[in-house]
Amino acid sequence: MPGMIGKKLGMTSIFTEDRQMVACTVLEVPPNYVIQVKTKEKEGYDAVQLGAFDCKEKALTKPLLGHFKKAGVSPKRYLKEFYFEEPLEVGTELRVEQVFQEGEYVDVTGITKGKGFQGVVKRHGFAGVGGRTHGQHNRERAPGSLGAASDPSRVFKGKRLPGRMGNKKVTILNLQVLKIIPDKNLMLVKGAVPGKRGSIVYIKK
């Protein structure tokens, strides 16, 4: 599917033509450059490798620097493969208004906010054991009984327990493109997008 590399700037709200206020996420989508074109004959599948967001040469390894030099493009920090039906040449510049149009729907992939090690109340929405009555000592946010006995004598995998929360790759499907601002490389999509402000996102049709 055609797509581009972007960055989440934050959330705002805009008014539609029928005077409805809609919450939306502002995405910065700078020019993406074709770094490599992969074909079935050589790599076994068809894809286009795009690069975005400039970075210093000292931040990259020599093989990567040679990769960008071969493409005739300045070093980029992020690379991602997408599928384009129309043939593209190495070094081609893709802008947000060329790939996306207002009103269409896109899928946005990002890394959710990491919240560290959390208990069952925050992580899974448990109610906790209860108040401090009848001798209960600091059990308000405890998970309570796990329910297993001598058979099976173990805790089943996938049990909702305390653990690390967030920091996972999540894709939100069918977000409508509300507005594209080409001169500022901005795109506004309806609703929320995973990740914190400034995090990298991948937008696909």
For every residue of the chain, DSSP letters joined together read --EEEEEEEEEEEEE-TTS-EEEEEEEE-PPEEEEEEE-TTTTSS-EEEEEEEE--GGGS-HHHHHHHHHHT---EEEEEEE--SS---TT-EE-HHHH--TT-EEEEEEEPPP-EEE-HHHHH----S--S-TT--S-TT--------TTT-SPPTT---SEEE---EEEEEEEEEEEEEGGGTEEEEES--SS-TT-EEEEE-
Q: Which CATH homologous superfamily contains domain 3-115+163-204?
A: Translation factors (2.40.30.10)
Residue 147 has pLDDT above 80, yes or no: no
Q: What is the mean pLDDT of the chain?
A: 92
* pLDDT in the model for residue 97: 92
Residue ranges per structural domain of the chain:
3-115+163-204, 119-158
Residue 26 has pLDDT above 90, yes or no: yes
Residue 25 has pLDDT above 80, yes or no: yes
Residue 79 has pLDDT above 90, yes or no: yes
| Listed ranges 14-23, 131-140, 192-201; the one with the highest mean pLDDT | 192-201
Instruction: Indicate the pTM of the whole model.
Output: 0.87
